[in-house]
Amino acid sequence: MKMKLLFAVVLLSLGVFCNVSAAQRAEPNVDSYIESLRADLRANHVALITETMQFNDQESKAFWPVYREYEADVTKINDQRVALIKSYTAKFDTMTNADANAIIDQSIDFESRRIDLRKKYAKEFQKAGLSSLTVAKFLQLEHRLDLIVDVHIASELPTLLIKPAGQSAPHQ
């Protein structure tokens, strides 16, 4: 059952990001479409956590209030990621070194904020009464889901490794 649910969430997340990519090319109101897809992904994320973690009543009472705070903070960080993706795709064909530097800084900041958030909430989950083993299981699940999303986003974005015809390097 866990594997079926995980597979369903993975397929949904892949579909979500494929649809976002298509929406960026076709729809004028991309932001509302992205928000709708993100809400669907969050709902499935909760279902996956519930199924995978199999909390007892005490663990559930400790986990979910902290998780709701965590999820709100993750959403803020992911807003930064969405803005970065929009900026990257908008500037891709005409990217300057200054644009590339800004994107580098923003990308590293995103990753740092994500790691800092995990550190913060590892402590918060433990303060709430969850065992280190339970927190480690949750963080491992989160990390794996993030990797799936990261790989899919990377596969959907144009890469600087293969520049459009006639462009050998970013503009000065």
- For the cut 80, the answer to whether the pLDDT of residue 142 exceeds it is yes
Element (H, E) at 111: helix 97-127
SS (H, E, C) 56-103: CHHHHHHHHHHHHHHHHHHHHHHHHHHHHHHHHHHHHHHCEHHHHHHH
What is the pLDDT at residue 163? 59
130: left (phi over 0), alpha (psi -120 to 50) or beta: beta
Mapped onto helix, strand or coil, the DSSP state of residue 161 is: coil
One-letter amino acid of 96: T
Give the closest residue to 120 by CA, choosing from 69, 78, 76: 69
Distance in angstroms (rounded) separating the CA atoms of residues 45 and 16: 13
Give the closest residue to 20 by CA, choosing from 10, 32, 9: 32
One-letter amino acid of 49: I
Mean pLDDT of 14-39: 56
- Cα 142 versus chain centre, distance: 10
What is the pLDDT at residue 156? 83
Highest mean pLDDT among 37-46, 75-84, 105-114: 105-114
Tell whether the torsion through CA atoms of 120, 64, 79 and 51 is positive or negative: positive
Its pTM stands at: 0.75
Report domain extents, the chain: 2-156
